[in-house]
Structure 1
Amino acid sequence: MSLTFSEIAHAHKDFIQHTLQTFEDQLHPSADEDAELVTRAMFSIRNQAIKPPHYSTFSQILVCQIQDVNTAEVTINFPQKQISCSCPKTELCRHQLATILKLSQYFISLQQWLSNWRSKKSIPLHSLAAARSPENWQRMADEVLNYAVKGPQPIEPYALSALNESIRSKIQRHRPYEQEWQELYQLFMDIAILKHFLLHAVKTKTDMEHHYFQFFLENTLSRIQRSIDALSKTTRLFATEPFYDALQQSVRDILFIEKGAKSFRLTLYLQFWTKLFDEKKRITNELIILEQSSDIETDLDLDVVLAIFYILLGSTSPLERVTEILDEDNVESFIEVAQYALHKGYVDEAAIILKKALPLLQTFVQDNLLPIRRQKFIRKLDKLYGQISLTEEEELGLYASFGRYGIESFSNYLLRHNRFDQWVALHQLYKSSIPYLEQCGLKDVVAQSPEIALPLYHYYAMEEIQQKSRQNYKQAVRIWRAMKNASKKAGKLDYFTSYIEAVQQQFKRLRALQEEMNKSNLLG
């Protein structure tokens, strides 16, 4: 016997109420498309377009057919808490909403729900979009954001990206038709959404280091960078100037947020000021504002930001002054500034920062930087310092600060200076593997000074033998083949022959190893 809508609704009341609340949060009464969707859903209920339910008490799956232009089939899997529809729409559709409202009417008044939802309507978004101004664009963003992000509760990090996309989709419906305005509109709205989320995160003490939050920030930054790159290559309309002024203010507000995502905020700020805001007057005015902002409470060092503008304006003396306060807490931020300076061609200014940072790197890398970040950060440093002139003493100090995480970088340095014996000594001190040695330049060492590489081949072949498996014996033989080639280049083939004979005698009881050595014809 099939259950009625009423019986199904009361059996799954919690899920239905939760789903209705989720749908309500997604639908904005000021958006014409959402208002139309709700109206069509209510129309389906009033006109009894939802046919009697098909419900399995065993699987607890409900299937409802809704008579529309084309018949749609809504499926609710109650155990898995999933709802779907057969219509082409990939997001929330009127058929899903109609089904949930149909079930909800047994414990709420649909007319009261509709009145409450409509009462939240303010200025229609299309009206704000029609009157194009930075103020109206900001009001559009605030209207959608304040409706979607309610109360003092933190946003769950895993839901952040989905919520962001939902908000963006509502705002994108009102994007200008003119192509020259579309990229600016998207950038303006992305910054407005980002600022709102960051302020909300600070207010609700959200963990901005959570990997879901970091994923959201990375995706947002990538999208903003694409917009900045596109806008920087197009001619700027006179009518867009007020929007750029508003963006300048918003980006500064994000930079001066109280705390959290410090590196991200600085990177975002640098993107705008090294790619988009390139007028000298705008740069000078921003510097004046920054120099008057010393009383702002933020976790970002203001001197780091000032350094950006001293570089852009070619003010060497103030730059040298602000770099005097370099320490382990702000050295990473200053290095990021140096990276952007090099990107823009300010080599001398970047050199001032990087040389001031040199004495701090060892303590910062070994004590302050998380181990998981050290390898990537050192590669970045190696690339940056490779673009400026250093004395031999400064170079050695740089690689010494890297420690074991900079073996590859130091190896390349030794190869550049033909210090092959020191290269070998380095890799004898820090044991790794043959593939890593090749990554660090083993082939170059063999090509230039093959005889000094022979001890390394011996060591790693012995390491394989100690594992005592046929697969390891095969790997040892591969290493000996490479050793044989190096011996041949060094004119020491007789030495290699004596060496292999000694190894065979030493490990004569390892039958599998003897078989692999004989098959390889190492003595041929």
Structure 2
Amino acid sequence: MGRPPRLLFFKKGVVDLELTPANQLIESLAAELGELLHPNTVEDAKLVQKGLMLYRQGMVTQLHIGDDSVTATVQDVTPAKVRLDLNFLSVSECSCPTDDLCRHQLAVFFSAYARSGVGSVGDWVTEWREPIREQKAVAGWGMQAAKDLIKANGVLMPEYSRWVHSFEVSFDTLLASKKYTSPYVIPELFAIYERRIHASAPVKQEWRLLYELVGIVVSFRKLAVLSEQLGHNEDVVKRAYLHLFQNMMDDAEELVGKIGVQTTPFAFDEFIEKLKDDAFELLTAANGVEYERIYLYRLLWVHFFKKKPWREEELEKIRLRGKELQDWENPVPLAVARIHLNILQQNDELALKIMAQITDDLFTAYMVFWIDYLSQLKAWKRVGPLIELFLQKVKGYLEHLGGYHSCAAFTRNALRAVTPYCVENDRVDLFERALLVMLPYSFADYEYLLFERGQYDRWGELQALVGFDYYDLPKDRVKVIEKERPEVLLAMLHQTAQREIDQKNRASYRMAVRHLKKLRTIYKKLKRVDDWQYFMETLLERTRRLRAFHEECKRSKLIET
């Protein structure tokens, strides 16, 4: 099916515009630039302003819009030739010295945007600047005092449906009343929303805590749904307001702890049961912020919804909802919930069976929660099989995750989770297997383990595996190994010296000679002088055309003159 015609709205009526492939790409580029450039960043604001000025002064000439690119010349101090790639903005080119996105490329974009008829340049700029105006408006709203909010809402007496209605109305009024809301003003709007609901909280401490927990569950769901409705992708959410979800997770964890240690009124039961039903929507109401939604759901079921009949009813609800899943819906949240409840019910065999059947690599991240949970219970017999399955799956997850820093952070968290079991049960072998399977991200921990255990041969192999040169090694480690097992350093010194020789310049030859002298010292210490002489004769023969290298060897007395 083709894309339907786009309707352009003008003051005097409506115009049909059939978007060509190039126009569609220009429209996508407009959206991409709107996300890439931030009006609150001084550099980005200046860049847009300069590009707009060049465009409005008519400095863009020889404009040509092709199927997947736009070319033009921009008459600046020095004429700049520009090619905009409509598929991949990052490979666009400009003849000016700037390496990144420049004012000439923006000027050409504005010119192409206007000529294609996709939209008005003025409207694009106005929409792009929307966050600044919204923030000013938000600042004004934020000045309303808490006492005014209380007057507006009134303090809500304990009634679950009334609480939820109040949260939803306040949220929709402040955050969901516009067709478009910039992601960068959502934190400020959300802060006003939170002040409003706190102002209406019950006075009694025990009810206030429950009120705040209900508010978190409702707010979490509403924000996740709004994010999806506004079309904010994962990167945008992460940059602009992911911290709001994380703050709510932290607050919920604190609240369930406080509620758990206080004496609760009998009337709480009805509220908790209704909250349980609302918590189910965390799994299915939206597709974004999946990890955060599932974390909050599991937290509530561990600490708050503890009745066995409730858990059995929830399993049945999950089973029925799973049958209704559409092809476009993500099955992982329901699968995680099903596993979670079976673990809470101590049905570990079924839980592990379900885990083993899931092929989605991203699922592996959820296993760390259960390893932590069972370790805190000191249920060591239950933790072991879970860690074994985790280690079978974690390599695929790390490959899927990508990005060194993300993988390293996850590895640290995973190793922290498996450590209590390995220590308690004297399973150094299992811990070492975890380190091996998560290389190279576990390198620092594995290197430390091997060195402390005196396994210097394996320590040297690990250094070579991750590609370290001799001069990358920690000097304190090298001193110990030179004394205890100097032969461990031989292979690395050979490799490092050869890499320097391969650079074929005078400075690298000098470095190579330094490593060769160290090699000679170790060979003599090991009483393998014949091996050293044979190696050196072979090396000199192989490099006989590298006169500068031979000169450095003579200067350092590696070669007899």
Q: TM class, shorter-chain normalised?
A: 0.5 to 0.7
**Structure 1 pair 463/440, CA: closer, same or farther in 2 (3 Å)?**
farther
Which of the residues 399, 420, 423 maps onto 1:366? 399
Counterpart residue number, 2:415: 382
Picking from 392, 414, 428, the partner of 2:464 is 428
In the superposition, the TM-score normalised over structure 2's length comes to 0.56
Q: In the alignment, is the contact (CA less than 8 A) between 2:380 and 2:421 conserved in 1? A: yes
Which of these residues, 222, 238, 241, is aligned with residue 216 of structure 1?
241
CA distance in 2, matches of 1:166, 1:439: 55
- Equivalence for 2:548: none
Q: Percent same amino acid at aligned positions?
A: 15
Which residue does 2:358 correspond to in 1? Answer: 326
The corresponding residue for 1:314 is: 346
The worse-fitting range, judged by mean Cα deviation, of 139-148 and 270-279 is 270-279
Task: Name the aligned partner's letter for residue 196 of structure 1.
Answer: K
Report how many residues are paired.
Answer: 415
* Displacement after TM superposition at 1:196 (Å): 0.9
Mapped pair 1:135 → 2:167 = no
| Residue 197 (structure 2) pairs with residue 171 (structure 1) | yes
Residue matched to 2:368: 336
Q: How far 1:153 moved relative to its partner?
A: 2.8
1:243 matched to 2:243: no
Q: Deviations over 1:130-162 (max 9, x none)?
A: 432111111221121111123563432211211
Q: What secondary structure is seen at the aligned counterpart in 2 of 1:158? A: coil
Q: Distance in 2 between matches of 1:20 and 1:442?
A: 57
CA distance in 2, matches of 1:165, 1:351: 43
Q: Is the 8 A contact 1:362 1:402 kept in 2?
A: yes
* Alignment of structure 1 residues 441-460 onto 2, 5 Å: 449=485, 452=488
Confirm or deny: 8 A CA contact 1:144 1:167 kept in the other structure.
yes
Q: Which runs of 5+ in 2 are unaligned?
A: 1-125, 528-561
User: Does the C-alpha gap of structure 1 residues 454 and 205 become closer, same or farther in structure 2, counting only changes over 3 Å?
Assistant: same
Quote the Cα distance in structure 1 between the aligned partners of 2:298 and 2:333: 14
1:442 positional shift: 6.6
1:359-382 alpha-carbon deviations (Å, 9 max, x no partner): 333333224544442222223333
Counterpart-to-counterpart distance in 2, 1:185 and 1:317: 37
Per-residue deviation at 1:330? 4.7
Deviation (angstroms), 1:447: 8.4
Residue pair 1:128, 1:140 contacting (<8 A) in 2 also = no
CA contact (8 A) 1:134 1:243 kept: yes
**Which letter does structure 2 place at the counterpart of 1:255?**
L
Query: Which residue does 2:323 correspond to in 1?
Result: 295
Aligned to 2:386: 353
Letter in 1 for 2:290: K
What is the 5 A alignment of 1:29-428? 129-151=155-177, 153-207=179-233, 209-210=234-235, 212-213=237-238, 216-233=241-258, 234-238=261-265, 239-297=267-325, 298-344=330-376, 345-388=378-421, 398-415=434-451, 418-428=454-464
Compute the RMSD of aligned alpha carbons: 5.6
Distance 1:342 1:217 in 2: 28
For 1:151 and 1:23, locate their aligned partners in 2 and report how far apart those are by CA, in whole Å: 15
In structure 2, give the amino acid aligned to 1:427.
Answer: Q
Relative contact order, CA 8 A, sep 6+: which one is greater?
A: 1
Deviation of 1:190 after TM superposition, in Å, equals: 2.7
Per the normalisation by structure 1, the TM-score is 0.59
Q: Secondary structure at the match of 2:254?
A: helix
Secondary structure class of the residue paired with 1:404? coil
Cα distance change on mapping 1:166 and 1:279 into 2, 3 Å: same
Cα distance, 1:253 vs structure 2: 0.8
Amino acid at match of 2:352: E
- How far residue 264 of structure 1 moved from its aligned partner, in angstroms, is 1.6
Larger displacement relative to structure 2 (396-405 or 414-423): 396-405
**Which range moved further: 162-171 or 290-299?**
290-299
Counterpart Cα distance in 1 of 2:386 and 2:421: 11
Structure 2 equivalent of residue 9 of structure 1: none
Q: Which amino acid in structure 2 is aligned with residue 221 of structure 1?
A: Q
- Kindly provide the CA deviation profile for residues 32-66 of structure 1, in whole angstroms up to 9, marking residues without a partner as x: 95996xxxxxxxxxxxxxxxxxxxxxxxxxxxxxx
Change (3 A) 1:375 1:34: closer
Alignment check: 8 A CA contact 2:187 2:241 kept: yes
Tell me if the contact between 2:138 and 2:188 (Cα under 8 Å) persists in the aligned partners: no
For 2:262, give the aligned amino acid: T
| Deviation of 1:24 (Å) | 11
Q: Is the partner of 1:129 in helix, strand or coil?
A: coil
- Counterpart amino acid of residue 323 in structure 1: M
The alpha-carbon distance between structure 1 residues 490 and 184, as it changes in their structure 2 partners (threshold 3 A), is: farther
Q: CA deviation at 1:25?
A: 6.9
Taking the aligned partners of 2:147 and 2:396, their CA distance within structure 1 comes to: 59
Distance 1:330 1:296, change over 3 A: farther
